[in-house]
Amino acid sequence: MAALRNKSDQEIKDLLNEYGIKHGPLVDTTRPLYEKKLKEAMAKAKVPVTKPSPDRTFYREDQEEVTYVTYQTPVRSEGPSGDGKPYMRSRPEYSERDRVDDKPYSRSRPEYSERDRVDDKPYSRSRPEYSERDRVDDKPYSRSRPEYSERDRVDDKLYSRSRPEYSSGRPYVDEPHVYNTLSSSSYSKPTPVVKSGGGVVKKENTTSSGRLIPLWIQFLVFLILAGFLYFIFTNMESAESSPFNRIQ
Amino acid sequence: MSSTSQKHKEFVAEPMGEKLVNALAGIGEVLGKRLEEKGFDKAYVVLGQFLVLKKDEELFRDWLKDTCGANVKQQGDCYGCLREWCDSFLLFQFVLCQRKTYQHGPFI
């Protein structure tokens, strides 16, 4: 098929489409590549070989894209929160992350999520992550109550134990884009503990919150501040007497 | 492919500028020389080829194999390196170009 060399660009393109070969623009640097592909396709066409694999891989990618979407949302909503709940489900999430780790390149676009590539996609990912953080900030109080009651039940030893958890949570907060390596490291910490038994899971819930300052301190400070403001307000100069003094 | 080489990390950490092809992950001295002989003397030229091939993995791998005789691992490393670089910086450069029109700030 030396005639391939003599064909025009358009003819080559038509041939590529005919054989169903995915191609980009036909430039002088890409032309030899496409000619070679056409040669192979023509040789294969003589031998009747069914090639469902390209279609199948495409289908599989589609399917996996869909599963990605469904897996991502619970992971994402739970993952960066860093408090309470995620560690209950750390093991299934971790296996999902492994799956994420395996296929970074074939689907990078839908994968807005965490990925192991250290610096990948800081810009496209930083925005959804920030919105997640806002969501996280909205919900700490709704979820803090069960945590809070658990904390009451737990003795102070857990606070001393929770410090290393905070240290793992802190870099987590500071570097949103280096998400996966740190999250994998932060996940690797509780998983050995979780494995030790179900009874420990409850303790894990309380110690695993990534709060820098314990919740009760936050509440206390808030109450003190509110009380202070109220005190100021009530002791403000009363405006009962009219500000307009009659000149007599 | 969860482990990436040091070369890969260095390449995807910053805009490639005038880096040579040797800076690409998977491209060592021998392959780099072959690429240079074919006219691909800088990393951005290979990037150009990568983009012209529509960032398609298979096409790029085949092209790399044909052009400089890279083996499967080298092809994969180079593809991954360029892919990640594009994910990080390609859009950013577009944004950067747009930003130039707002040199004195968007509120003036």
Q: Is the pLDDT of residue B52 over 80?
A: yes
Given an 8 Å threshold on Cβ–Cβ distance, is B9 in contact with A118? yes
pLDDT digits (tens, 9 = 90+) for A48-71: 655 555 555 555 555 555 555 555
Give dist(CA A227, CA A121) in Å, integer.
46
Instruction: Name the closest residue on chain B to residue A26, using Cα atoms.
Output: B52
The amino acid occupying position A15 is: L
**Contact between B77 and B26 (Cβ < 8 Å):** yes
The pLDDT, as a whole number, for residue A46 is 81
Winning range, highest mean pLDDT, from A65-69, A162-166, A225-229, B67-71: A225-229
How close A108 gets to chain B, by Cα (Å)? 8
**Contact between A82 and A190 (Cβ < 8 Å):** no
The pLDDT, as a whole number, for residue A23 is 84
How many residue pairs bridge chain A and chain B with CB atoms within 8 Å of each other?
Answer: 65
- Determine the average pLDDT of the residues in A98-120: 46
pLDDT digits (tens, 9 = 90+) for A169-197: 444 444 445 444 444 444 444 444 444 44
Q: How far is CA B4 from CA A119, A188, B7, B27, B80, in A?
A: 11, 20, 8, 14, 9
The pLDDT, as a whole number, for residue B100 is 54
Give dist(CA B31, CA B70) in Å, integer.
7
Residues in chain B closer than 8 A to A31 (CB atoms) = none
**Number of residues written out for chain B:** 108
Give dist(CA A141, CA B7) in Å, integer.
45
pLDDT digits (tens, 9 = 90+) for A37-47: 988 888 888 87
Question: What percentage of chain B reaches a pLDDT higher than 90?
Answer: 71
Biggest distance spanned by C-alpha atoms of chain B: 55
In the structure, what pLDDT confidence band is assigned to residue A29 with cuts at 50, 70 and 90? confident
In the structure, what pLDDT confidence band is assigned to residue A25 with cuts at 50, 70 and 90? confident
ipTM score: 0.73
The DSSP 8-state label assigned to residue A117 in this structure reads: S
Other Cβ atoms within 10 Å of A51 Cβ, number: 10
Residues near A22 by beta carbon (within 8 Å), at least 6 away in sequence:
B54, B56, B58, B59
**Contact between A206 and A157 (Cβ < 8 Å):** no
The DSSP 8-state label assigned to residue A81 in this structure reads: G
Instruction: Name the closest residue on chain B to residue A110, using Cα atoms.
Output: B87
* Three-state DSSP class for residue B20: strand
What chain B holds in terms of domains, given with CATH numbers, is 6-104 (1.10.150.40)
Q: How far is CA A115 from CA A100, A112, A119, A211, A229, in A?
A: 7, 8, 9, 24, 46
The pLDDT, as a whole number, for residue A220 is 96
- The pTM of this model reads 0.41
The pLDDT, as a whole number, for residue B28 is 92
Q: Is the pLDDT of residue A26 over 60?
A: yes
Residues near A1 by beta carbon (within 8 Å), at least 6 away in sequence:
A38, A39, A42
Positive/negative CA dihedral, A31, A34, A38, A39 = positive
Give dist(CA A77, CA A175) in Å, integer.
17
Q: How far is CA A205 from CA A158, A165, B106, in A?
A: 11, 11, 46
* Three-state DSSP class for residue B42: strand
Residues near A204 by beta carbon (within 8 Å), at least 6 away in sequence:
A87, A88, A190, A193, A194
Question: What percentage of chain B reaches a pLDDT higher than 70?
Answer: 82
Q: Is the pLDDT of residue A15 over 50?
A: yes
Q: Is the pLDDT of residue A32 over 80?
A: yes
- Listed range (A33-42, A200-209, B36-45, B91-100) with the worst mean pLDDT: A200-209
Other Cβ atoms within 10 Å of A203 Cβ, number: 17
The pLDDT, as a whole number, for residue A69 is 54
Q: Is the pLDDT of residue B64 over 90?
A: yes
Give dist(CA A74, CA A22) in Å, integer.
35
Interface of B with A (CB under 8 A): 1-2, 4, 9, 12-13, 49, 52-54, 56-59, 62-63, 66, 79-80, 83-84, 87-88, 91-92, 95
**Contact between A130 and A176 (Cβ < 8 Å):** yes
Give dist(CA B12, CA A117) in Å, integer.
10
Identify the residue whose tokens are 């944004």.
B95
In the structure, what pLDDT confidence band is assigned to residue A216 with cuts at 50, 70 and 90? very high
**Contact between B7 and B32 (Cβ < 8 Å):** no
- Burial group, residue B71, by CB count within 10 angstroms (0-12, 13-18, 19+): exposed
Residues in chain B closer than 8 A to A25 (CB atoms) = 52
Question: What percentage of chain A reaches a pLDDT higher than 90?
Answer: 8
**Contact between A203 and A154 (Cβ < 8 Å):** yes
In the structure, what pLDDT confidence band is assigned to residue A168 with cuts at 50, 70 and 90? very low
Q: Is the pLDDT of residue A217 over 80?
A: yes
Give dist(CA B62, CA A237) in Å, integer.
83
The pLDDT, as a whole number, for residue A83 is 47
In the structure, what pLDDT confidence band is assigned to residue A242 with cuts at 50, 70 and 90? low
